[in-house]
Amino acid sequence: MTIRVLLADDQALLRATFRMLIDSCPDMEVVGEAADGGEAVELTRAHRPDVVVMDIRMPGTDGLAATATICADDALAATRVLILTTFEIDEYVALAIRAGASGFLGKDVNAEQLLDAIRTIADGEALLSPTAARALITRFLATPDPGTELASAAELDSLTAREKEVMVLAALGRSNEEIAEELVVSPLTARTHVHRAMAKLHARDRAQLVVIAYQSGLVRATPS
């Protein structure tokens, strides 16, 4: 299946570079380009891409607001957002993940890393750069704003002990393969447990599962 990608960045030259790179892959195609967040939302609704590669700082509506709008739209539930930005600061990472982004990468990634990230996001997994991963355990997720909780107490109580266990490991940054090795199960079983936890908590993807783990207290941030 071809992964359909929308590019959202105010730099035309950068969009053109990304388009050439993505269109050179037989399993991907660029279906649209947006120069600001408002246009990104419009084109996402028009084209229903699998992945939106989104910059943060753009004129008018920025990438964070556009991400929140896209991820809050039930009609766009199948679309994933990959934030690609120069500004890998803690607050941006936390706001992006809270808004529903499935991944966060710096623009210093190489071509292969970007393509792998798009494939990972399209497959329903989360992907964070090392800088972004560290930011997830800061106070921005450990102490959420009132009213931003993503899962109710009843939903958390519905998790099995094993589902809570894999949720904690996912929040600590373990991949499905690493979870499988630690729990002595197959990677497919680990992935199944992760996805069952996501379904019970109505988590959009693995990134939101990480947020819920910190918000619920299953995992606590370590002071930096």
Domains 3-135 and 148-216 share a fold: no
Nearest to 40 by CA among 65, 8, 16: 8
- CATH number of the domain located at residue range(s) 148-216 in this protein: 1.10.10.10
Kindly state the helix (H) or strand (E) to which residue 6 belongs, with its residue range.
strand 3-8
Encoded amino acid at 34, one letter: A
Q: What pLDDT sits at residue 224?
A: 47
The residue to which tokens 């053109």 are assigned? 16
How many CB atoms lie under 10 A from the CB of residue 200? 17
Q: What pLDDT sits at residue 216?
A: 83
Fold of 3-135: Rossmann fold (3.40.50)
pLDDT tens string, the chain, 224 residues long: the values are 899 999 999 999 999 999 999 999 999 999 999 999 999 999 999 999 999 999 998 988 999 999 999 999 999 989 999 998 876 565 677 778 778 888 888 888 889 989 988 998 888 777 765 555 555 555 555 555 555 567 888 899 999 999 999 999 888 778 788 899 999 999 899 989 999 999 999 887 777 787 788 778 887 765 44
Q: Where do the structural domains in the chain lie, given as residue ranges? A: 3-135, 148-216
